[in-house]
Every structure is written in C-alpha cells, then in structure tokens.
A and B are shown apart, each in its own frame.
Chain A
C-alpha cells in the first residue's frame, strides 16, 4: 500500500521553513526521501530505518516515528535549489522488495 504524503504542494519564499509528512497504514521498516526536478530522475536525499532516528542533509532533515508509522521531512531556511517534487518511499515489514512511493509534494521556492 502506498504511503500518504501531505501537503500536496507548498510555496515558500527563500529562507522560509516547511514540513512534509509521510504516513503508512502498515508497519514500516524504512522510509526514504527523494527529490525530483521536472523531467529528471528522482535523487536520493536520505534514508531512515526502524529506531526513530533523525538524519540531516545540509539544511534538510527528517525524522521517523516508528510507533505512528510516520516520517517528516524538514526544509529549513529554504533555498531556490530546494524546488522540486519530494517523494517519500517506504518498505513495509511485510512486503520485502515492494518499495512504494507517496504521491509527492511539489515544493516551489520563490526569491
């Protein structure tokens, strides 16, 4: 089952913050975050495994709440280069190999 992402889209001014949420109805083994620029391939940002760890990539960080089967991606002090569509991808504990993505969150950062 596909994870559910929210919001669908967000518009930011440079320097503003945003949070993108990803939730699953099934127990998660891992959550991955990818960013896709228009017409390009998705690019890996970070991976979070069971254990509730938090990771960071420049000013982009993420958390994983194993109990709630939720992950959040935090865009801090956004830059123009952060524009793109962000996808969370999940592996559930009962579906080995079935790596599904959410519908995506379109992020537009304006000057």
Chain B
C-alpha cells in the first residue's frame, strides 16, 4: 500500500525566509511523487513531480523538491517565501500496479503555509 505523511499541519515563515514543507512516503519502487498547491476555494494545482528522472526536481513559482530514497522523503523547499505563497500544500504518491502500487494517487493531509510580512 502507498501512503504519504506530511509533518506539520501548519508551517509559519516570514516573508523572504526559507520554506521547508516535509513529506515522507511509503510505496513500492518506483514511486511517483507530486506536490500540489491549493488556494482558498480552488482546486489543486501541480507544483512539481518526480517520475524517476533527476532526484532534484524544479517546479513552478521557485519551488523545488529532492527525492531521497534512503530517507523515503520528498521535501518541498523555496529559498525565499513570498506573501503569495500562502496556501495549502499537498504531497501525493502513486505507482504502478505491476510494482504493487496504484496509479490512483494517495494524498497527504496537507500543510498550511502561513507567510508573515
């Protein structure tokens, strides 16, 4: 079975500070990993995805994430937070049925990013 754990339901940073949102996964190999962002009253938008190419993945809006197999982690980072980054962030994992996973993604419970001026 595949699952993700997002550590911290809320993360608060000052504008300009480093953003770090944590995601640990449990999945068969290879996992496909995604980060999505959700603004109030909107659906989820893809930030970035890992599909077994480069372990450091760059996404939109200056976000990036690093796949670390030994730590089963896929943490999301951004060097300098902007007020417009305040939103809910979801990590998701999927796989292939051949490897014991599922093409249907499993989402974490989300982390709310709060950015202070």
- A and B associate: no
